[in-house]
Structures are given as C-alpha cells and as structure tokens.
Amino acid sequence: MRILVTGACGFIGSSLTDFLLEQKHEVVGIDNFDDFYSRKIKESNIAQALKNPGFRFFELDICSRDAWEKLSTHGIDTIIHLAAKAGVRPSMEKPVEYNEVNIIGTHLMLEFARKQGIKKILFASSSSVYGVNKNLPWSVNDTNLLPISIYAFSKLTGEQLCRYYHENFGLHITVLRFFTVIGPRQRPDLVIHKFVKAISEDREITLFGNGNTFRDYTFIGDIVAGIVGALTYESQGYEIFNLGNSHTVGLLELVATIEDLLGKKARITYLPEQKGDVPYTWSDIQKTTELLNFHPKTDVREGISKFIDWYKKEFAQ
C-alpha cells in the first residue's frame, strides 16, 4: 500500500509514519513546516523516516493547487489527512488562517482524491467538535454539535466536506476524532510539554480558571494503533470514530503527576478562563473498540513518563 500522510513532520504524523514504515508500507509524506513551532523539531521528528527507502518526502502546502498537482504521479492508494492548523486558543486569534488551511486545504485534498480515483481516506478530526456537550461520555451518535472555537468549527466543517464527497463521489472516508494526544514528540504549545519545560526550568506555569478542567488524555501509541485499525477496516461508507482513552484526568491531578515524576514542585499562576476552552472531554469508544479492535493500553502517568524521557533526551542541557 502506498499511503499519503499529510502533516508528516508533526507529532502524530511522524509517529504514524515511523510505524507504517516499520510495517513495510510505502509512505509519501508532505508538510509545509508551518512556523507554529520550530522547523528544527519537525526535522528531528522525521529524521529516522528519511533514512528509509520506503519514504518519500515533499515540502508542500495543502492549500496550494500546484502542490496537489505535483503528487498526481506518485500512485497513491490511500490518504491519511493529518495536516491542519492546530490549537484552540491560537485559532481565536487567527480565525481566517485556520479556516483557510483546515477547510480549503481539506477541500483540495478531497478534490485530489476524487480526480485521482483514490477511494480510501482517513480524516483527522478533533474532540473539540463536541463543544460544551453535557451528554457524557461523548458519542459519535450525538449529532447536536455546537463547536465554541474556530479550530473546532473548521474541523467540523472538514467532516461535513468529507461526508459530501462520500455521498456525491463515492469516496470511502473514515473520520477520527482525536482526544488530547500525549507522549514523545508532543507539540511545544500543548500543556504537558509546556508544564514539563517550565517546571524543569523553575518557571511558573499558568492555569486558566480554577484548574478544575478535565481531559481525556490519550497516548500517541494508542492513537497510532487506532489509525492503523481504521486503515485496515473494510468500510465502504462514511464512518466516524472516537480515538480516546475513555478516562478523564483533572488538570490539578495532571500537574501533581508531573511534579511527582520530575521530583519538583510547580509554581502556579491562575488566570481567567480562555475563550474556546471546554471544561471537560470524555470519549465513548464503544464503537471504536467493536469495529476497530481499539484498546488503549497506556495510562496518563506512563504516557507522561515516556514524554519526560523523550524531553530530557531531546532538550535537557
């Protein structure tokens, strides 16, 4: 199988690419090295993959029609679309950019698939699409979704574009809603990376609100297993799956776990709640377990421990 992975240099994209190459798939990776965080980190993420003869990489922007034209001769069988502008809070500051990349970029990907006759597509969505949803845990059967950030809106619109291309052009599309992903290579803007860095350097960390938010933290290895499960799942339609751990952890508990693993106390500053943030996330993974044989294996403490080991190797002086 020759698989196109968009966003191949990112946290999830590079982790997935390494696994696919280990499984002897051919991977075509693209990334535009968006300046949201350091290019050096992304280059490090794919350093091992670049040594593999089964990997071809192109620095391309998903919002460029010319970029998709350049991919038309590479015999792609399947697309795993991970490329996106990420982050809830930054999306509130740059709403047009987020919609351009996450909506127009996704639309161009779908047009490429239609023209190339590529039937199988996996689309990376987000738990953010559920908004402030009191129907806990969050189920893919819940259709009353009211996203409260531009990022969430752009991801839900991407899902709707995927549905349209399935219904009108027969593309087989699987939507994967990721719940807060943790582990080695996590982006610098995400909370565990930020907290580990700040506490290690004896700097203050910032908690918004009263610190009583809860998240469904999911280890990168489990996310990759879920993606691969969707890749091998014989679906001829349009399907949505949650990829989460199905357990929630409070923010203060998360901080305490990091303190314990680092052997250092955090200095905490509290600020008002941020627009676009939801108070909790919690995944119902019954459908994912039944159809994709998805069984998360790594709990939050172990996931944070593995991240810290990676962080010390990559960044500690």
Active-site residues, by number, are: 151
Q: Could you give the 3-state DSSP secondary structure of residue 160?
A: helix
Taking Cα atoms as reference points, which of 133, 174, 129, 208 lies closest to residue 288?
A: 174
Q: Which residue has the tokens 């001769």?
A: 73
Taking Cα atoms as reference points, which of 102, 100, 106, 63 lies closest to residue 86?
A: 102
Residue count (the chain): 317
Backbone φ and ψ for 297, nearest 5 degrees, come out as -115, -15
**Amino acid at residue number 83:** A
C-alpha torsion 98→2→224→212, nearest 10: 10
Taking Cα atoms as reference points, which of 23, 13, 22, 8 lies closest to residue 56?
A: 8
Q: Which residue has the tokens 């905490």?
A: 268
Pairing mode of beta strands 214-215, 249-250: antiparallel
The rounded distance, in Å, linking the Cα atoms of 222 and 42 is 21
The rounded distance, in Å, linking the Cα atoms of 82 and 42 is 14
What is the Cα Rg of the chain in Å? 19
Q: By the 8 A CB rule, do 160 and 102 touch?
A: no
| The two structure tokens encoding residue 88 | 């809830």
Taking Cα atoms as reference points, which of 118, 128, 122, 112 lies closest to residue 162?
A: 122
Please give the distance of CA 212 from its chain centroid, rounded to a whole number: 24
